[in-house]
Structure 1
Amino acid sequence: MMVMKGVGRRAARWMAGLAVAACCVAGAALPAHADDGPVPVPSTPPTAAPTTPMFPGRTIRMRVDFQFGEHTVPGQGIKPTAYLTLVFSERGNGWNLTEQECQELVSTFWSGT
């Protein structure tokens, strides 16, 4: 099991902060999606950091795709856009993430903790 410490943890927090800031610049946060449907993005960050590790004995992989671009808005011209895609997975372990576990991961990511 890998527990992030030091530089890795600071880098992850910095990337989370960058992603949140970019979404604020874009003006909206779209709901997260699980295989079975949307996972709501919290409107306010959780008040306490989760206990670490969140899922003892399990390795959760995270893939992030962040793209900037432009989108034509009728009547408003061209507006800058930012697209953020997060994928949390647990491949190869025979486990599937539940919707509640996805919600915990999304809440933790958006809180920056």
Structure 2
Amino acid sequence: MENTVINETVFTQLLVDVGDEMLPALVEVFNEETTERISDLQALMTNLDNDKVAQNCHSIKSSAGTYGALIVQQHAEELEVMAKSNNTADVQVKLPLLIKSLEDAISALTLKCH
């Protein structure tokens, strides 16, 4: 996997699929939903609930892939597996990495649409 926040190939295909006019609105929805998920994940760092972590990560994994946020998608997939396995110690280590990658993706997508 390339070491960029947003995969250009995936993002370009999304742009082709939805068009110049629709893409900024879709990115705004992604950013709003992702900001809410970051809050949820930060709360889960204090009161860890592996089921809720797995649910959040499953949703994040899907939407991140759509926008080309492949690093986010990878972190979310790994965390989902860890949480489903009740691997609490690893979940606690990985959660901050997912949150950081989500914040980076929001910034990168915002820049691409302005």
The alignment's TM-score, normalised by the length of structure 2, stands at 0.33
Higher normalized contact order (CA 8 Å, seq sep 6+, divided by chain length) = 2
The alignment's TM-score, normalised by the length of structure 1, stands at 0.33
Larger radius of gyration: 1
| Structure holding more strand per residue | 1
| Structure holding more helix per residue | 2
